Structure 1
Amino acid sequence: MNKTMRRNPWDALVPTYERWMEPCSALLAQAALEQAAPNSGSDLLDVAAGTGALAVEAAERGHSVHAIDTSSNMVGRLTERLRPYSGCSAALMDARDLRYGDDEFDAAFSVLGVLDCGYRTAKSLAEMVRVVRPGGVVGVVHWADPVGAPFFEPLGRAVDRLNDPGVGEFTAPFSEYLQRSEIEHALIGAGCADVRVESVQVPCAMPEPETFVDEMHPIFRMHSQYLAAVSCHRDRFRRILAEEVRAMAAGKGGHPVARANVASARVPHHAGRVELAVRAPHDLAEVD
């Protein structure tokens, strides 16, 4: 491999993501499809599709689905899952540079995807709007809680219980687009109209306390504080984390429920496209 090439960290997450994250994201995908309500047999684009929570559900509903992701392993797995559905496919592609023509789809979706792209979010949303026909819909889903998936709640409490200055206090993975107002402004700035945002809660399956670390390691290793805690306090940290998972299962400190915002918007019929008008969330006035 060329030394200048960097492996996509999501390539190593396919089995773990499909087993533990997709059951939750599938419920969010269903909520997104029901809210946006695309016409029967629509041509849909799923951006940052992962293992296919929305793509497979949309294909089951009779839509023609094209799914993209930047992880080759995710795309490979999704290609397998979409094979039984006529007119559906998956491709390796960057959300900021969609290789599709203007007005090519009836709808474009991204579940737990483009709103977690930092400075790339604005461009990705603008691209999604560009490829959707006037009158079509754009749907996005993002966490409404800075910890994201409930898996990170016991992780955060375990990190804080270590009380190690070298590890530090837990830093939640997400900080942007957590408010409904932020998502609404982002979609309007990308050229959408008639924005609708709803907050939802869905259950999230959790590994057993004794196997929690092993099951979640492929996901948690993307978090620097987890790596520091495991490196410096391996046995103690595993014990504390198992205790926190057990407490969560017993209802102490919060049940495993995922909180997210589901949004949909219409692509206007007027001529012309917005190049880029999305401001960073920290520049937005809080209106919720």
Structure 2
Amino acid sequence: MPDQTRHDAWQAGETDERFMARWSRELAPRFIDWLNPLPGFEWLEVGCGSGALTEALLGLTVPVSVVAVDPSEDFLALARERITNPRASFRKGSAEALPVANTSCDAVGSGLVLDIVPDRAKALAEMRRVVRPRGLICFYVWDYPGGGVQFLRTFWSAATALDPQAADLGEDRRFPFCTQEGLTGLALAAGLTDVTCAPITIPTVFRDFADFWQPFALGTGPAAAYYAGLAPAARESLRQRLQDRLPIAEDGTITLEARAWAVQGISP
């Protein structure tokens, strides 16, 4: 089996903007709409990346403050550049060791992060540590096992047809717990109450095939890392297979969907 960990490279902020972050920015406001939190909360965000959820929190929840944490200096620099709202502050830290005091916030949110945290149980325990009694803990991740991110599922289906070993690198194999049952169970095991899990779907519209294909050449994430390891002839075979099978409209656009599972619960 190939070494899967070498295909994880989510540290380059500007690179990720062209690959996954563009869809994260579409998803975050819909998550806030579903969550419908009360105004006036002091928020902690775990794994802010380039700031998609931070922006949605500031724009839609009327928070007192948002403390956003991420282990990547690249992402923190990009988020600070993009978000100058004085209610937001940014700190370096990991999900398993949050750099904030006990019971210091009203709500903890995390967007598209919990799946790649090495110790998810510890991360949720940290969220419980920092939130006040009866505080809100919420998060969302892509529905990889259900094929919810159609452009990634299409990529891996084409790659596996040409190279059966590629199946071991797909997110559906690597994150099998990202299901309604798996995520609900994770939240309940962390001691959360009133747990709710629901799907959120967004359209992913690409201007043309180049808009779809080029992000895979940027080297961010498992699919792009797999592509980077291919020989030139294999890259061309994969590109051609995708172009032949994608639903390309007469105007060149490619319309697919991406689905995430959103979870919320209350800390005792």
1:225 & 1:20 partners in 2: Cα distance? 14
2:143, 2:149 within 8 Å by CA — same for their partners in 1?
Answer: no
Check conservation: 1:128, 1:138, Cα contact below 8 A.
Answer: yes
Contact residue 216 and residue 227 of structure 2 kept, 8 A: no
Structure 2 matches for 1:90-109, cutoff 5 A? 90-109=90-109
* Structure-1 separation of matches of 2:112 and 2:57: 16
Query: Aligned to 1:75, what secondary structure does the other structure show?
Result: helix
Residue aligning to 1:196:
196
Inter-partner Cα distance in structure 2 for 1:222 and 1:168: 10
Map Cα deviations across residues 48-69 of structure 1 (whole Å, 9 max, x no partner).
Answer: 1111111011112332111111
Bigger strand share? 2
Paired position in structure 2 for 1:121? 120
- CA distance in structure 2 between the aligned counterparts of 1:221 and 1:209, rounded to whole angstroms: 20
- Determine the C-alpha separation between the residues in 2 that align with 1:46 and 1:59: 11
Matches within 5 A, 1:139-154: 139-146=138-145, 147=147, 149-154=149-154
For residues 209-266 of structure 1, give each alpha carbon's deviation from its aligned partner in whole angstroms, at most 9, with x where no partner exists: 135433332256634543444455133332223333xx23349xx9511111111111
Q: Normalized against structure 2, the TM-score is what?
A: 0.83
Partner of 2:185 in structure 1?
185
Partner of 1:172: 170
Query: Matches of 2:242 and 2:214 in 1, distance apart?
Result: 11
Gaps of 5+ in 1: 1-5, 269-288
Which position in structure 2 is the counterpart of 1:76? 77
Q: What are the superposed Cα offsets for residues 93-137 of structure 1, whole Å, 9 maximum, x if unpaired?
A: 11100111111111111111013324x111111111211111210
Rg larger in structure = 1
Partner of 1:277: none
Partner of 1:222, secondary structure, is helix
How many residue pairs get aligned? The number is 253
Greater shift, 34-43 or 186-195, is seen at: 34-43
CA contact (8 A) 1:230 1:237 kept: no
Residue 41 of structure 2: aligned partner: 42
Corresponding residue SS for 2:39? coil
Tell me which residue corresponds to 2:56: 57
Q: Give the partner amino acid of 1:226.
A: Y
- Counterparts of 1:21 and 1:101, CA distance in 2: 31
Q: Is the 8 A contact 1:11 1:74 kept in 2?
A: yes
Whether contact under 8 Å (2:144, 2:176) holds in the other structure is no
Report if the CA contact (8 A) 1:30-1:57 is conserved. Answer: yes
Matched with 1:282 is: none
User: Is contact 1:32–1:264 with CA below 8 Å preserved after alignment?
Assistant: no
The code of the aligned residue for 1:222 comes to P
> 1:28 Cα shift?
2.8
Equivalence for 1:67: 68
Partner of 2:238: 237
Secondary structure of the residue aligned to 2:238 is helix
Q: Once the two structures are superposed, what CA deviation does each residue of 1:32-54 show, in whole Å capped at 9, x if it has no partner? A: 32333332121111111111111
CA RMSD of aligned residues (A): 2.7
Amino acid of the structure 1 residue aligned with 2:69: I
Code of the aligned partner of 1:266:
I
The residue identity in structure 2 corresponding to 1:69 is D
State the distance in 2 between where 1:152 and 1:72 align: 27
Describe the shift of the 1:34–1:234 C-alpha distance in structure 2 as closer, same or farther (beyond 3 A). Answer: closer
Q: Distance in 2 between matches of 1:176 and 1:10?
A: 19
Instruction: Measure, in 2, the Cα distance between the counterparts of 1:185 and 1:35.
Output: 20
Q: Which amino acid aligns with 2:83?
A: L
Q: State the AA in 2 paired with 1:138.
A: I
Q: Using the TM superposition, give the Cα deviation of residue 148 of structure 1 relative to its aligned residue in structure 2, in angstroms.
A: 5.6
Give the structure 1 partner of residue 257 of structure 2.
257
Report how far residue 170 of structure 1 moved: 6.4
Amino-acid identity (%) = 26
Determine the C-alpha separation between the residues in 2 that align with 1:115 and 1:155: 20
Aligned-partner SS, 2:121: helix
